[in-house]
Amino acid sequence: MGLLAREIEARGVTTVGLALVKEVAVAARAPRFLYLRWPFGHALGEPGNVAQQRTVLRDMLSMAVYAPRPGLVVELPYRWRRESYAPVIDWDTPSEVLVSALSSWDAPPLAHKLTD
């Protein structure tokens, strides 16, 4: 995944990957990864849990737009089968979870990017 993502990015297309093993994500050196501690085969979430799957998808899309730089592996704090997820209504605004995760990196505040 990392080699392919780097080649795609070299051609000007932003990529974001999902990882279930953090060490693999780091070793792959993909430009941007979201890491989840979830079972293999369920990177987007539990089968039939549409709200959960859309939450992860929104975080991926937001990461593509708001990540301050390539080379990030961001761990999402979602817990498998222990949380409830609100329906995603606003696809243009990143989740508080992703904003918090990205704010730990050296970057301008996301709030400025959201209003530009």
Structure tokens at 48: 């039939």
Predicted local distance difference test score (pLDDT) of residue 115? 39
Asked whether 63 and 103 are in contact (CB, 8 A), the reply is no
- Output the pTM of the full model: 0.82
Residues 6-38 pLDDT 10s: 889 889 898 999 989 888 888 888 888 999 999
3-class DSSP state of 75 = strand
Angle, CA 15 vertex, CA 48 and CA 60 arms, to 5°: 35
Question: How do residues 94-110 score in pLDDT, each as one tens digit?
Answer: 988 888 888 876 544 44
pLDDT tens for each residue of 44-62: 999 999 999 999 999 999 9
pLDDT of residue 46: 93
Reduce the DSSP state of residue 112 to 3 states and report it: helix
